Amino acid sequence: MKTNGLIVVTGGTGGLGRRVVARLRDRGRNVRVLSRHPGDSQAGVEYTAGDLETNQGVEKAISGAEIVVHCAGVGKIKEDTAQAQNLVVAAKRGGVRHLVSISVVGAERIPVRSAVDRATFAYFASQRAKELVIEQSDLQWTNLRATQFHDGFILAMVQAMSKMPIVPVPAGTRFQPVDADEVADALVELALDAPAGQAPDFAGPKIYDSESLLRSYLVAIGKHRPILKIRMPGAAAAAIREGANLAPDRAVGRRTWEEFLATIVEHGTGLLAVRECVRGSPSKSSNSVPGPRPLLCLTTWWTVFQPRQRAPRPTETITWRND
């Protein structure tokens, strides 16, 4: 083991990465943040410019590190695979002792085969591709799969939905949102422990269907919207309806969606949080959590699809036509 204790965090300027960096500093560890847009270095935290996808500056950033925590990701298969491959090569050359990564619950269970699957759920495939690169390396590694964050995809989803006059909601989809601070705590503990391979999933304390998440948000902000349930096509959507994105036996998170909602409504931070999520979604250093891509695709599809048949009543569930 190296004596300098240096830990490199990729994506350390994103929502999860920032939390990980802060916690590592609280534990007295020296941290280097690899980012395409680095900030100003401060006591105990060094920021260095680099791009994991193009491999620019990666080897220099990893040099001298004992541990690497990989929080970067863009949610696209090709890009996330390239990032992981370049990181693994640099970590091997640099003699990294422990490579830690964050992924998503269901990455290994949700099939992404067709164009429809890729249009809406490519994130799960991108995370699985990243996992395989790390698993098949000769490095010592730990991977943590988490469910969607309160202040990430879930908030972005309900915020965007609430702006529509009639809201298309994917029928049968459920989520188990978790607090990002709690996931950051778990990720830091894993990073500072011995390599563990695939760690147990980290999921929120309660499971909600999409309509419940939306309605609770609407109540919190004092709005009402008619809801139209839409059955999404594809194998990935079918797996989601069957609960492949859930981990009911790993409901170890403590903070509920209701508690999170109460906080953002009280402090008026909901809009700011969702702006950060949407702005950070395509970033090369954004969090490895699902962004609002599935919702945006669903909204786009609905706009195209709606003129092709009569307008359904707000309480109906319709099945998508692919003709």
Domains, in order of start, for the chain: 7-319 (3.40.50.720)
Question: For 144, phi and psi rounded to 5 degrees?
Answer: -115, 125
Name the β-bridge partners of 321: none
Q: At what angle do helices 270-280 and 257-267 cross, to 10 degrees?
A: 110
The Cα 276–Cα 61 span in angstroms is 26
DSSP letter at 313 equals: P
The Cα 249–Cα 15 span in angstroms is 26
The Cα 141–Cα 123 span in angstroms is 21
**Other CB atoms closer than 10 Å to residue 10's CB: what's the count?**
29
The Cα 47–Cα 70 span in angstroms is 15
Has residue 33 got a pLDDT over 70? yes
Tens digit of pLDDT for each residue in 213-248?
999 999 998 999 999 999 999 999 999 999 999 999
The Cα 227–Cα 257 span in angstroms is 20
**pLDDT at position 322:** 38
Has residue 315 got a pLDDT over 90? no
The Cα 20–Cα 48 span in angstroms is 17
The Cα 82–Cα 10 span in angstroms is 14
For residue 173, which amino acid is it? T
Residue 4: pLDDT band (50, 70, 90) is: low
User: What DSSP string runs through 123-150?
Assistant: HHHHHHHHHHHHHTSSS-EEEEEE--BI
CB within 8 Å of 132: residues ≥ 6 apart: none
- Please give the residue that has the higher pLDDT: either 120 or 248: 248
Tens digit of pLDDT for each residue in 252-262?
999 999 999 99
Q: Looking at residues 100-121, what average pLDDT do you find?
A: 95
Radius of gyration of the chain (CA): 20
Question: For 318, phi and psi rounded to 5 degrees?
Answer: -115, 160
User: What DSSP string runs through 148-179?
Assistant: -BIIIIIHHHHHHHTTSSSEEEETT-EE--B-
Question: What percentage of the chain has pLDDT greater than the value 70?
Answer: 81
**pLDDT at position 291:** 45
* Pure H helices in the chain: 15-26, 58-62, 77-94, 115-135, 155-161, 180-192, 210-221, 235-241, 257-267, 270-280, 293-305
The Cα 195–Cα 310 span in angstroms is 56
Nearest to 210 by CA among 240, 184, 186, 187: 240
Among positive and negative, which fits the CA dihedral 130, 136, 140, 143?
positive
